[in-house]
Amino acid sequence: MAKFEKANSVGEWLDQRLNTTALTKVLMTEYWIPKDINFLWAMGVLLAVTFKILVISGLFLMMYYKPDVNLAFDSVNYTIMQEVAYGWLFRHMHGVAASVVFLIIYIHMFTGIYYGSYKQGREMIWISGMLLFMTFSAAGFSGYMLPWGQMSYWAAMVITNLFGGVPVIGDALVVWIRGDFNVADATLTRFFMLHVFLLPIVIMGIIGLHFYTLRIPHVNNQKGEEIDYDAEAEKYLTGNKKEAKVIPFWPVFISKDFAILGIFLIFYFYLVFFHYNFAMDPVNFDPADNMVTPAHIYPEWYFLWSYEVLRGFFFDVGPVKAFDIGLAAFGFANVIFLLLPWLDRDTKILPAHKRPMFFIWFWVLMADLIVLTIWGKLPPTGTNAWIGFAAAMLFIILFLVLPIVTKIDAKKRGE
């Protein structure tokens, strides 16, 4: 055993046993952040806080929620909303945070795309981030089911049916996932397990991985400048703080994050107290009924773009069924972002406004995603069907031309 001497303080006692001084340096006071980053880089901290809000509000909801098809609806809409003191608050905090977390994820993701933060050395940051997006999507969907309203039921019906598109075993797979011939009690209880235990644990694990992936390539900056972190950190530590291009995460950089977090939390609680309805679809206040489909069903706003890609293909092409084309396009939309580091053929890390063709590509993608999101909520008939088809096609084409677009930019710069 190592040699221990009498400690003069609690801090020293802990330091001898847990090496807390070195740990704080690595994690906080000597974790270096470039000076040249703007408010968009605060989204990571906002996400960490929003996830904590989700976990804590979820714990309080779980104490009264009953995962049983006969009890679930009332346990949410009567017990939690009417009887439990501040039950309404925890429900609205949970519901609003579930929606807002996707808004921040999208801003975080598109900031990364705009500044090229997924490239050359930062691939693992990007991949772990996309894995987080996928597990958050699964957690969002499994949680949406739990109040057992009409939208919950039919969302579960449609999403589980998607697995019917798997060749050969599709139909059996759907029954296996549901644990019944249709969406029923067995489905509710297993999705409850996924939502309150398995998926949160997986998310926490990937968050750890996501933080770790940042440590070696370090965080990107507004100009995409390559920084010699050892040299810059040395400057800072020797007192030349003005010329050093880096600052420590704690307590210097985090103060900016806290300022932005403050604004975000005001916005978030404004929604919780005054506009919680946007996250509560009226249809979901009807109890689930397996014999009546609501006139028009649609997912929450954050899934609308990929939902529209799925249903954008409404006609058969030769022997290929519209259903299979839609499903393939949906699969494409959900994995293509993962491959972004390899689709971008530009040899340099530069922000989009320094890459003329990519700049256009980026904003066309933004516009297309907005169109897909809006049309995802409209009934898929007449002209709407064709607009949806065009937007879905454009989405696919954008990713097919990305290698060419980025190559042209690099060539124009003479590389």
Partner 1 sequence: MSNETNRRDFLGYTFAAVAAVGGAASLVGMKQVWDPLPSVLAGGFTTVELSGLKAGEPQTFMWRGKPIFVLKKTTDMEDNSRDLLIGDDRFTVAIGLCTHLGCIPAWKKNMWKCACHGGEFNPSAEQVFGPPPRPLDLPPFSVKGTSIVLGEEGPEYKKIAAAMMA
Antiparallel, parallel or unpaired: β 246-248 and 32-34: antiparallel
Min dist. Cβ of residue 261 to partner 1 (A): 40
User: How many alpha carbons fall within 13 Å on the CB side of residue 193?
Assistant: 5
Share of the chain residues as helix, strand and coil, in percent rounded to the nearest 5: 70, 0, 25
Q: Which is nearer to partner 1, 148 or 253 (CB)?
A: 148
CA–CA gap between residue 355 and residue 406 (Å, rounded): 8
Applying CB under 8 A, the span of 23-31, 92-100, 126-134, 180-188 interacting with partner 1 comes to 180-188
For residue 36, list its beta bridge partners. Answer: none
Q: Which helix (H) or strand (E) holds 209?
A: helix 199-215
- The contact mask relative to partner 1 for 182-211 (x = CB under 8 A, - = no) is x-x-x---x---------------------
Length of the chain: 415
With the CA atoms of 184, 187, 189 and 190 taken in that order, what torsion angle do they form, in degrees rounded to the nearest 10? 170
Contacts 24+ apart (CB under 8 A), 239-244: 244/35
Whose structure tokens read 């995460």?
249
Q: Which member of 180, 226, 234, 415 binds partner 1 (CB under 8 A)?
A: 180
Say whether residue 313 binds partner 1 (CB under 8 A).
yes
- The contact mask relative to partner 1 for 283-312 (x = CB under 8 A, - = no) is -------xxxxxxxx-------------x-
Whose structure tokens read 């930062």?
122
CA–CA gap between residue 344 and residue 192 (Å, rounded): 39
Whose structure tokens read 């804590």?
56
Q: Which is nearer to partner 1, 279 or 325 (CB)?
A: 325
Q: Which member of 40, 89, 179, 378 binds partner 1 (CB under 8 A)?
A: 179
Q: Which residues contact 113 (CB under 8 A, 6 or more apart)?
A: 340, 352, 362
CA–CA gap between residue 135 and residue 322 (Å, rounded): 28
Q: By rule CB under 8 A, what count of residues binds partner 1?
A: 36
Q: Which is nearer to partner 1, 239 or 382 (CB)?
A: 382
Q: Which is nearer to partner 1, 32 or 192 (CB)?
A: 192
Applying CB under 8 A, the span of 120-128, 220-228, 379-387, 391-399 interacting with partner 1 comes to 379-387
With the CA atoms of 75, 76, 82 and 86 taken in that order, what torsion angle do they form, in degrees rounded to the nearest 10? 120
CA–CA gap between residue 203 and residue 47 (Å, rounded): 12
Q: Which is nearer to partner 1, 39 or 176 (CB)?
A: 176
Q: Which is nearer to partner 1, 125 or 156 (CB)?
A: 156
Min dist. Cβ of residue 189 to partner 1 (A): 11
- The contact mask relative to partner 1 for 322-351 (x = CB under 8 A, - = no) is xxx-x-------------------------
Q: Which is nearer to partner 1, 173 or 207 (CB)?
A: 173
Q: Which is nearer to partner 1, 177 or 219 (CB)?
A: 177
Min dist. Cβ of residue 318 to partner 1 (A): 14
DSSP reduced 3-state for 105: helix
- The contact mask relative to partner 1 for 123-162 (x = CB under 8 A, - = no) is -------------------------------x--xx--xx
Min dist. Cβ of residue 336 to partner 1 (A): 21
Q: Where does residue 287 fall: left (phi above 0), alpha (psi -120 to 50 degrees), or beta otherwise?
A: beta
Q: Which is nearer to partner 1, 182 or 277 (CB)?
A: 182
Footprint on this chain of partner 1 (rule: CB under 8 A): 154, 157-158, 161-162, 175-182, 184, 186, 190, 290-297, 311, 313-314, 321-324, 326, 379-381, 385
